[in-house]
Amino acid sequence: MAEPNYPDELRYHREHDWVRASGDEAVFGITWFAQDALGEVVYFDPPAVGDTVTADTSYGELESVKAVSDVYAPATGEVLEVNAAVVETPELVNSDPYGDGWLLRVRLADPASIEGLMSRDDYVAYLEGLG
C-alpha cells in the first residue's frame, strides 16, 4: 500500500477528492486518506461519458470490502472519460490514487472554480483537524 502522500500540484475537496486541472479539462480522483479509510476497493460505479457532474455532489460510488462510499465532484463539468482501468481493476485506486487510479476526466464548466478548493497544505491541516 502506498505511503500517505498529497501532491502539491493538486487541489483538494473536503470530501477527500482531488482535481488536477489543465486549462478547461481536469482529472478527478480520491486522496490517499480516502482510499486508506475505504480499504481495498473492489468496485467503481461511475457516471456515463457525457453526463454532467456537479461540484459538491456525488457522481458515483466506490465499494470496498468494508463499505460503499459516495465519490464527490470537486468541480462541475461534463464527463469526457471514465478510467476504464479502474472499472476493470478497482484496486488501482489503492495502489496509485494519483496516477493510474484516477477516476474521471471532465471538461470544467468554470476552470477558475478550482481555485476555491484546498491547497495541499490546507488539506493536510484539514486532515489534522479531523484527528
CA distance 130 to 118: 15
CB count in 10 Å sphere of residue 88? 9
Q: Across residues 1-19, what is the average pLDDT? A: 90
pLDDT at 2 over 70: no
Say if pTM beats, i.e. exceeds, 0.85: yes
Give Cα separations from 95 to 50, 54, 92, 124, 125 (angstroms): 28, 27, 5, 20, 24
Residue-wise pLDDT tens digits, 62-106: 999 989 999 999 999 999 999 999 999 999 999 999 999 999 999
Strand partners, 53: 77
Question: Residue ranges of the domains in the chain?
Answer: 11-125
- Relative to beta strand 68-72, strand 58-64 is antiparallel
What percentage of the chain exceeds 90 in pLDDT? 94
Assess if CATH 2.40.50.100 describes domain 11-125. yes
Q: Where are any strands of DSSP class E within the chain?
A: 11-12, 17-22, 25-30, 41-45, 52-53, 58-64, 68-72, 77-82, 104-108
C-alpha of 131 from chain center: 21
